[in-house]
Amino acid sequence: MPRSLPRRAAGAFASALLAATTLTALAHSATAADGTLGSAAAAKGRYFGTAVAANHLGESAYSGTLDREFNAVTPENEMKWDATESTRNTFTFGAADQIVSHAQGKGMKVRGHTLVWHSQLPSWVSGLGAGDLRTAMNNHITQVMQHYKGKIYAWDVVNEAFQDGSSGARRSSPFQDKLGNGFIEEAFRTARSVDPDAKLCYNDYNTDGVNAKSNAVYDMVKDFKARGVPIDCVGFQSHFNSASPVPSDYQANLQRFADLGVDVQITELDIEGSGTAQANNYANVVKACLAVTRCTGLTVWGITDKYSWRSSGTPLLFDSNYAQKPAYAAVLTTLGGTGGGDGGGGNGGDPAAACTIAYARTSDWNDGYNGEVTVTAGAAPITGWTVTLTFPSGQKVSALWNGSPTWNGDVATVRSTYNGNLAAGASTSFGFTVMKNGSSTAPTLGTCTAS
Ligand code: 9MR
């Protein structure tokens, strides 16, 4: 392993003795209007959210990315029945409270997920007889909604109550089997009585296109609206992969629900894949939501591929090092965001300048390593790029090449030099040598902004 500087360590050279500062600097590195998912969505009158797990909030790159990019959250598991009432009438809100207070502190919306669902249901619930089950269901809805009253934008009141396939039937569950079809209506009525200000949603998967399952949900919503059963929104989970691709009638399906007089929301979006194919699929989902006036927002089902429920399918917008993937640039561009580039909107409908970054450690030795950041232009050509990187406290960057750095504590802002002009989709890279000083941790990638 090399112990000296690489031979190509020429050009811009930075020697920075990195002082100990906190990583929170990262959270403030990209606040340009429309330069993040949340701000770009907000400019279109929508939110852009993510599922969040309370146990990752202490990881600075996780919460840094969350705080920078998203303006809505859904607790991934913390509000489910097994988490909030694992023992009858003993309610546990600690983990969910952590997420809600984090979100409130940052002005983010919270989607409540979920009150009545056949899965992640404690066995004491499944064991109850009909009368007792009805009481337990209404009590669960009441206690949980009461606890979060005034803090929740929308609740998934009932989740996944319909069967897959062509039957259009309700799914077998303790609620369905013992209380019959009416449990859904009862859950919504109870929910409305507890928090009249929260939007009440029905949420499901495989209902993203027009099919037997979505037709059955459609009929239910239509019936609810006709009879005055309180329902405000329908959530389309939108978990996609090659076996379950984005349907060609996705937008039409959202629109027909919206036409019933409910909001529609993309609630758990993730799309397995990589590169341009994944980016195009994401762009199509975002386009569909923007084209439907009552599509009020999108939520992706996690921040980083690292913690996705189906991590091996790399379905999210940030890779496992929190680098923005091509899908990120595609979503931001489709939302009309600029990636910090040209202010957006003034380019006659051409894609906005945007870029993504990926990091690799190219060599490693006892007390140092070389890192390389690849910068890739989005759907438009770019004329310059700026990347932020945060190095762990103590590490010393002894050389940096093919980019021009300025330093603020541990945070390097690296600008293109001769290598700022990139065709759409084209890449360049810059590199650096780091003296570990006891820490071999990789730098945290911040934003890539393009002009
Ligand atoms: O992402 C969630 C994962 O961490 C849990 O283990 C799983 C348990 O059922 O639930 C996942 O989230 C699901 C969501 O609550 C409802 N729609 C499907 C999601 C993915 O399975």
Helix axes 212-227, 250-258, angle to 10 degrees: 10
| Cα 76 to ligand 1 centre (Å) | 7
pLDDT at 427: 86
CA dist list (Å): 143 to 81, 84, 193, 229, 230: 11, 10, 12, 21, 19
Could you report the per-residue pLDDT of 212-248, keeping only the tens digit for each? 999 999 999 999 999 999 999 999 999 999 999 999 9
- Vertex 234 angle, CA 86 and 85, to 5°: 5
For 152-208, what is each residue's pLDDT tens digit? 999 999 999 999 999 999 999 999 999 999 999 999 999 999 999 999 999 999 999
CB of 120 closer than 6 angstroms to any ligand 1 atom: yes
CA atoms within 13 A on the CB side of 100: 21
Query: Which of 52, 117, 301, 310 is the best mutation target for the ligand 1 pocket, counting ligand atoms within 8 Å of the beta carbon and taking the most?
Result: 301
| Ligand 1 pocket test, candidate residues 55, 74, 76, most atoms within 8 A of CB | 76
> Half-sphere exposure of 372 toward its Cβ, with a 13 Å CA cutoff?
13
Whether residue 417 contacts residue 402, with contact meaning beta carbons closer than 8 Å, is answered with: yes
pLDDT number for residue 186:
98
pLDDT at residue 114 tops 90: yes
Distance between CA atoms of residues 123 and 114, nearest Å: 17
For the Cβ of 78 lying below 6 angstroms from any atom of ligand 1, the answer is no
How many angstroms separate the alpha carbon of residue 271 from the centre of ligand 1? 15
- Distance between CA atoms of 186 and 134, rounded to whole angstroms? 9
Give the DSSP letter string of 205-239: SS-SSSSHHHHHHHHHHHHHHHHT----EEEE--E
Residue 350's pLDDT band (cuts 50, 70, 90):
low
pLDDT (0 to 100) of residue 338: 81
Query: According to the model, what pLDDT value does residue 425 have?
Result: 78
Unique residue bearing structure tokens 């906190």: 22
